């Protein structure tokens, strides 16, 4: 019988202190295997919480030697609930002009602006909930993890209410998110052309130009830019969306840059760069880059000549022309990310060169200092080199982190699709990721995508 057995009772505790086990070793000089002796051994080892008496009784009845048997379990700490922000406006609104039944596009029906009134609630902050405390087998408290608190994303023309949990509008205007902050923007309206009478425009909110933007001028806005007339060989730059009701005739010099999307009647001999989408009725001999989609709408819905580099998808009726106009189409890699990747690579190289020069200067000046010949002027120079090296080192660390992140994302992205609702003409060069294909025969109603190392052309669906 088990009560007659003589054993050594050993107690083991896991490193997280949440489990205690008993190991029985047969020993004629040991103690009797009894419930009381096991409990005493646990007490000796200061095991006081979560003891499983039934498990101990089972162990005594059916002795298991040399194998740990769990006899006490602590209570793990509960998981925290992070705080959250509730936005009271649409932060993922898809902006797309309405296509009319006759094929025209209504650029006035964009739904870009989300108007708010003074004192409207924009964001509500919900506090985090900390994880419940746990207990280890020794009866000690295991503190629950603290929930992460999110701060209200306060930007320009907003204020935090007295309750500390509500972000409100400080004025009437358009609500949007700029660099992660909720901001209410006012709009600058210009009823004339942008010309000598106005000069260049640089505004913190939205800009609405009721005339045209003439060659040689520049319009910059932190919000959206809307132009009712034509944009000539001018520069338009917005952190939000750009809407060109009559398009751009860039004459090889015009440029439109948008942090979000660009909507234009036509894009001709111009450069267009958008963080998100580009949408137009026709693109002719232009250089277009966008991070997400390039969509051609309306009767023509065509891309002829130039180059279009797009992150995810291109949709058009016609790409190229019956004259076999050279047209470069690239999808699957965000071109803006690629540009940033190259910029960082260049800056990292320059910083390393700068740090090398600092090291050389410091070394020379340290030798002069050791010889006791360091003048005040040279001491100042030594301090300057040291400061420059520290600053360059910090900048280098930040850039290397961003460089690795972009490199990882570029390796992951090689998907992309091109949809052609009418004709894809010869002379079009298609690149998806790092795979190229030159179109040599006209193709109707097709979609082009990458499969492994090949570019496939399938019927449009």
Residue 167: predicted pLDDT: 96
Q: Domain for residue 391, yes or no?
A: yes
Within 13 Å and on the Cβ side, how many CA atoms surround 261? 18
Q: Which two tokens stand for residue 128?
A: 């985090």
CB 287, CB 271: distance < 8 Å: yes
Residues 6+ positions from 92 with CB-CB distance below 8 Å: none
**Domain termination residue (choose one: 154, 183, 212):** 183
Residue 176 has pLDDT above 60, yes or no: yes
**Domain termination residue (choose one: 183, 198, 231):** 183
3-state SS assignment for residue 215: coil
| 164 and 89 in a common domain | yes
Q: Where residue 258 falls among pLDDT bands split at 50, 70, 90?
A: very high
Residue 101: predicted pLDDT: 77
| 103 and 178 in a common domain | yes
pLDDT digits (tens, 9 = 90+) for 423-435: 999 999 998 877 8
pLDDT digits (tens, 9 = 90+) for 70-110: 999 999 999 999 999 999 988 876 656 666 777 776 544 45
Residue 199 has pLDDT above 90, yes or no: no
| 57 and 116 in a common domain | no
- Rounded-to-integer distance, Cα 230 and Cα 247, Å: 6
Beta-bridged to residue 244, according to DSSP, are: 227, 264
More confident residue, 440 or 407: 440
Residue 111: predicted pLDDT: 53
CB 308, CB 314: distance < 8 Å: yes
Q: Domain for residue 34, yes or no?
A: yes
Mean of pLDDT values over 256-260: 96
Q: Nearest-CA neighbor of 139 among 78, 73, 71?
A: 73
pLDDT digits (tens, 9 = 90+) for 387-414: 998 999 999 998 998 888 877 777 665 5
Q: Which two tokens stand for residue 253?
A: 């010099």
Query: Can you say how many angstroms the Cα of residue 147 is from the centroid of all Cα atoms in its chain?
Result: 23
Residue 203: predicted pLDDT: 79
Mean of pLDDT values over 114-129: 90
Residue 164 has pLDDT above 50, yes or no: yes
Q: Which two tokens stand for residue 69?
A: 């048997």
Highest-pLDDT range among 185-199, 209-223, 447-461: 209-223
Q: Domain for residue 179, yes or no?
A: yes
Highest-pLDDT range among 1-5, 35-39, 234-238: 234-238
Q: Domain for residue 118, yes or no?
A: yes
Residue 4 has pLDDT above 90, yes or no: no
**Domain termination residue (choose one: 50, 73, 96):** 73
Residue 109: predicted pLDDT: 46
What's the domain count of the chain? 3
Average pLDDT over the chain reads 89
Q: Which two tokens stand for residue 302?
A: 């065509």
Q: Which two tokens stand for residue 305?
A: 């000549």
3-state SS assignment for residue 361: helix
Q: Domain for residue 357, yes or no?
A: yes
- Residue 92's CB is within 10 A of a number of other CB atoms, namely 5
* Angle value at C-alpha 297, between 296 and 299, nearest 5 degrees: 120
- Rounded-to-integer distance, Cα 8 and Cα 29, Å: 8
Mean of pLDDT values over 234-261: 96
Q: Domain for residue 24, yes or no?
A: yes
Q: Which two tokens stand for residue 362?
A: 């410091």
Residue 110: predicted pLDDT: 52
Q: Domain for residue 317, yes or no?
A: no
Beta-bridged to residue 222, according to DSSP, are: none
Write out the E strands in 311-453: 313-319, 327-331, 417-424, 428-432, 435-438, 443-451
Q: Where residue 112 falls among pLDDT bands split at 50, 70, 90?
A: low
Q: Which two tokens stand for residue 29?
A: 């000089």
Question: Helices 335-370 & 376-412, crossing angle to 10 degrees?
Answer: 150
Q: The dihedral of CA 399, 403, 409, 414: what is its sign?
A: positive
3-state SS assignment for residue 119: coil
| 68 and 122 in a common domain | no
| 113 and 27 in a common domain | no
| 69 and 25 in a common domain | yes
Residue 2: predicted pLDDT: 44
Taking the alpha carbons at both ends of the chain, their separation in whole angstroms is 78
Q: Domain for residue 266, yes or no?
A: no
Residue 162: predicted pLDDT: 92
Mean of pLDDT values over 336-360: 89
* The model scores a pTM over 0.75: no
Mean of pLDDT values over 167-193: 86
| 127 and 58 in a common domain | no
CB 265, CB 283: distance < 8 Å: no
Residue 40 has pLDDT above 80, yes or no: yes
Phi, psi dihedral angles at 443 (to 5 degrees): -125, 135
**Can you give the length of the chain in residues?**
461
Residue 442 has pLDDT above 70, yes or no: yes
- Rounded-to-integer distance, Cα 287 and Cα 121, Å: 42
Residues 6+ positions from 387 with CB-CB distance below 8 Å: none
Q: Which two tokens stand for residue 353?
A: 């060169």
| 177 and 117 in a common domain | yes
Q: Where residue 365 falls among pLDDT bands split at 50, 70, 90?
A: confident
| 98 and 55 in a common domain | no
Within 13 Å and on the Cβ side, how many CA atoms surround 385? 18
Residue 151 has pLDDT above 60, yes or no: yes
Range(s) of the domain holding residue 97: 84-183
Q: For residue 203, what are the CA distances in angstroms to 143, 169, 182, 187, 266? A: 51, 20, 18, 9, 25
């Amino acid at each position: 019988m088990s009560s007659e057995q003589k054993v050594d009772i050993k107690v083991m505790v896991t490193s997280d202190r949440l489990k205690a086990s008993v190991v029985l070793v047969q020993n004629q000089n040991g103690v009797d295997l009894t419930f009381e002796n096991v409990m005493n051994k646990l007490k000796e080892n200061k095991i006081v919480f979560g003891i499983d008496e039934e498990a101990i009784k089972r162990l005594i009845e059916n002795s298991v030697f040399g194998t740990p048997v769990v006899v006490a379990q602590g209570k793990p700490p509960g998981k925290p609930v992070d705080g959250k922000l509730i936005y009271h406006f649409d932060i993922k609104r898809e902006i797309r002009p309405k296509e009319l039944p006759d094929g025209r596009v209504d650029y006035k029906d964009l739904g870009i602006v989300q108007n708010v009134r003074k004192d409207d609630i924009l964001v509500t902050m919900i506090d985090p909930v900390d994880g419940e405390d746990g207990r280890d087998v020794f009866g000690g408290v295991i503190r629950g993890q603290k929930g992460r608190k999110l701060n209200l994303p306060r930007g320009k023309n907003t204020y935090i209410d007295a309750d500390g949990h509500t972000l409100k509008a400080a004025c009437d205007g358009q609500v949007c998110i700029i660099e992660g902050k909720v901001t209410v923007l006012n709009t600058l309206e210009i009823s004339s052309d942008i010309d000598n009478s106005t000069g260049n425009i640089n505004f913190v909110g939205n800009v609405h130009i009721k005339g045209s933007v003439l060659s040689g001028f520049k319009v910059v806005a932190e919000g959206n830019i809307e132009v009712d007339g034509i944009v000539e060989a001018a520069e338009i730059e917005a952190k939000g969306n750009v809407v060109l009701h009559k398009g751009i005739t860039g004459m090889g010099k015009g440029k439109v840059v948008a942090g979000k999307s660009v909507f234009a009647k036509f894009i001709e001999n111009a450069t267009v760069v958008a963080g998100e989408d580009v949408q137009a009725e026709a693109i002719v001999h232009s250089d277009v880059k966008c991070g997400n989609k390039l969509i051609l709408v309306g009767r023509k819905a065509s891309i002829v000549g130039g180059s279009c580099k797009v992150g995810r998808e291109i949709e058009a009726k016609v790409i190229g022309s019956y004259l076999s106009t050279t047209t470069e189409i690239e999808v699957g890699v965000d071109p803006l990310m690629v540009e940033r990747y190259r910029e960082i690579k260049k800056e990292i190289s320059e910083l390393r060169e700068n740090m090398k020069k600092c090291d050389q200067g410091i070394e020379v000046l340290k030798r002069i200092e050791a010889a006791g010949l360091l003048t005040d002027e040279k001491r100042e120079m030594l301090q300057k080199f040291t400061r420059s090296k520290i600053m360059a080192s910090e900048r280098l660390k930040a850039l290397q982190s961003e460089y690795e992140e972009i490199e990882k994302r570029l390796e992951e992205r090689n998907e992309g699709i091109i949809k052609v609702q009418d004709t894809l003409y010869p002379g079009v060069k298609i690149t998806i990721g790092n795979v190229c294909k030159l179109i040599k025969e006209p193709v109707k109603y097709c979609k082009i995508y990458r499969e492994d190392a090949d570019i496939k052309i399938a019927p449009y669906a």
